[in-house]
Amino acid sequence: MRERVACGACVTVPFGRRSLVGVVVEPGEASDLEGMKARSIESVSGHGAPEITPELLELTRWMATYYMCSWGEALRAALPPGAGRPGAAAPTRVRVTRVALAKAPPAAEPRGERQQALLHELRQRRAKDLDDPTQPELLESGGGSSTTIRRLEELGYVRIYRTLVDRYEYAVQNEARKVVPSADQNTGPTGQIQLNDDQTRAVEALSRAVEAGTFRTFLLHGVTGSGKTEVYLNVLEQVRGRGRTGIVLVPEIALTPQTVRRFRRRFGDEVAVLHSRMSQGERYDAWQGIRSGKYAIVVGARSAVLAPIPNPGLIIVDEEHEASYKQFDPAPRYHARDVAVVRARIAGAVCVLGSATPSLESLANARADKYTLLPMPERVPVDGRPAELPTIRIVDQRGSPEFVSAQLIEALSGCLERGEQGIVLLNRRGYAPTIECTACGWTPECPDCSVGLVYHKPLRHLRCHHCGLVNDMPRVCPSCRKETLEKLGTGTQRLEESLKEALPTARILRMDLDTTSGKDAHHEILQTFGSGGADILLGTQMVAKGLDFPRVTVVGIVQADSSLSLPDLRAEERTFQLITQVAGRAGRHALRGEVLLQTRKPGHLVIQHARRHDYEAFARHALAEREALGYPPHGRMIRVLFSGPEDNRTESMARLWALRLSERVAQVDVLGPSPAFIHRLRRAYRHQVTVKLPPGHAATSLRAALEAATAALGHLPRGYRMTLDIDPMGMV
């Protein structure tokens, strides 16, 4: 089959009594299985055309080596949706109902006004040489109802037929029809705008690298509102002018609609989108369009870094500091930012990492001249006037029982009186994170996870935010049978209730995991807020990143210091980044912005650095601490997590593994085992071992020792699991 199957093609192969999907990675002259008869390939997808490009074959090989997983696991991440099992590579196509003018309609016009309006719309489309509309499209533009269309068919004026559609294009058309024109004012002007000096210098430096056609990585450190997206657009135009393609990564699905609109305004139908909220069919059709060259620009979340786009010349990682770029499960546990840099190197492309608060790893790489630093320290001027960063006012909440301070309510009230908008951040969903009996101290806990259950008021139930378990909220304490259950703390639901009580005329939208579970929920919430349909946008970290609304002048940050107490080496860094990012949503255009930061730790260095917008001072403090402790970027880390149904047995496995590794390596710290922060998750007990490597020590050099330590465990019993996470971003 060598003449029919190219490298990178997907094939179905026999594997024992099963059939599995495999990827052809190289041609072979003969089987290397001595004394065994090789079995034949059963089928080939796509007539033998490569699903994986040579560039992606090389990239996934690197991922398998660096992240210590199998090449098959890395390849699966790059395959189209549904291609991981036989017969599922192409999700079922869908048909839509379309309406067309009949070939020989009656000479007389129909009597009904609605019927005449629909016929007029169809004739207009034919005159413009447009495709026949779907039934919903026709009804939306011409009025009437489905009964009107059926009557026109009965009278012989139209014909109704069904046709296969590109599911991605159909979804894009539906999305475009939902956009209210006034909501698009926050996406920037239609064409190019006059760049300021910082933007011009950045574009010129990036353009020179693009023209050179060689690999380079740039760290675009621009404060919020400094116009990083406009830089991306200008450089991408240079790339397209040279016949090459581009990938733009964004950290949150919520950012995708605004980002996509800006890129489509500049590049039209060349732009494709990839993210997990799309249906499998939509993603599959988009993937095929990207691979065929139909789309030259891909905008998407983490997995878009593996899009099969041909000849990439520019890869952009916006908000490169975001932890959501890290894949936690399943393998490969890759970081999209680092994969983007390697893909750019393989393709001879330019990689741009953009952020107002760069990760300490990227900052260290820039200071070591691995990356080229492009500073943009000022906001884009508005109407010729300098645009300033918002004033951040600290509200000391020590000793206060109130969830929302009087200062924040006053600021939001003034904002509403002026016809402006506000954003309020609380990075905790639900109503009350803790339920406690004031008589006996009982609290509800998840039976499968070592965490408390969170109260959700709309459905009056308790929910585990880790495994999804749901229980009814008891009316009396199950332990002492007294009616003394108290709801402690606050989540976004309770904060919404408090704001409505304090500001009864305010129109409030809540944006968290509970309100955005639907496919288009992110889009609809942001659409409503952007078009002026709400006064206050309240939410979790979804509201902190990348959003650009010109009338937002007040930002409130509630419980800003809650993440500082987490047992994570990046707790301070993430807190600073979150505060800075959400503060940057205020005063981005002509109106001046103000931020109220509620905290019970007003003197904490992170809070003070954030108040002054002083990233450099924060970075000096954090890097000095990391260097003293040998933590990244001054060293490397591997997290090895053991899980299983029995606590003692799981710990023993982790202890044996750590001992065997310690016996085989030197100059490496093997810490633990210790219980994971969430000790029990989905009925599995968890213990972790942390391996610390000194600077310059590559994790891959440990591979033999890691494999030997793993081999010492033998075959893991049923229900037990060991996972390696290279460069972990979290330790919970």
The highest-level CATH class for domain 391-431+490-619 is alpha beta
**pLDDT score of 9 more than 90:** no
Rg (CA), the chain: 28
Least confident of 408-412, 453-457, 511-515, 689-693: 511-515
Kindly indicate the confidence band of residue 176, based on its pLDDT and cuts at 50, 70 and 90: low
Beta bridge partner(s), residue 421: 552
Q: What is the pTM of this model?
A: 0.88
Do 430 and 492 touch, CB atoms closer than 8 A?
yes
What pLDDT, in 10s, does the model give residues 359-378? 999 999 999 999 999 999 99
CATH topology of domain 10-78: GIY-YIG endonuclease (3.40.1440)
Task: Determine the 3-state secondary structure of 419 from DSSP.
Answer: coil
What pLDDT, in 10s, does the model give residues 524-570? 888 899 889 999 999 998 888 778 888 999 999 998 888 888 888 89
Task: Enter the tokens of residue 374.
Answer: 């492009």
Q: Which CATH number applies to 95-164? A: 1.10.10
**pLDDT score of 188 more than 70:** no
**Residue 520 pLDDT:** 74
User: Considering only CA atoms, which of 119, 101, 100 is closest in space to residue 109?
Assistant: 119
Q: In sequence order, which residues have a C-beta less than 8 Å from that of residue 643 and are 6 or more positions away?
A: 650, 681, 684, 685, 686, 687, 720, 721, 723
CATH homologous superfamily of 197-275+290-376: P-loop containing nucleotide triphosphate hydrolases (3.40.50.300)
Domains 197-275+290-376 and 391-431+490-619 share a fold: yes
Q: In sequence order, which residues have a C-beta less than 8 Å from that of residue 14 and are 6 or more positions away?
A: 39, 40, 42
**Residue 691 pLDDT:** 94
What pLDDT, in 10s, does the model give residues 251-303? 877 666 778 888 989 998 899 988 877 778 888 888 888 988 999 999 999 99
- 636-726 is classed in which CATH architecture? 2-Layer Sandwich (3.30)
| Percent of the chain whose predicted confidence (pLDDT) is above 90 | 58
Domain boundaries, the chain: 10-78, 95-164, 197-275+290-376, 391-431+490-619, 636-726
Q: In sequence order, which residues have a C-beta less than 8 Å from that of residue 711 and are 6 or more positions away?
A: none
Place of tokens 């659409």: 527
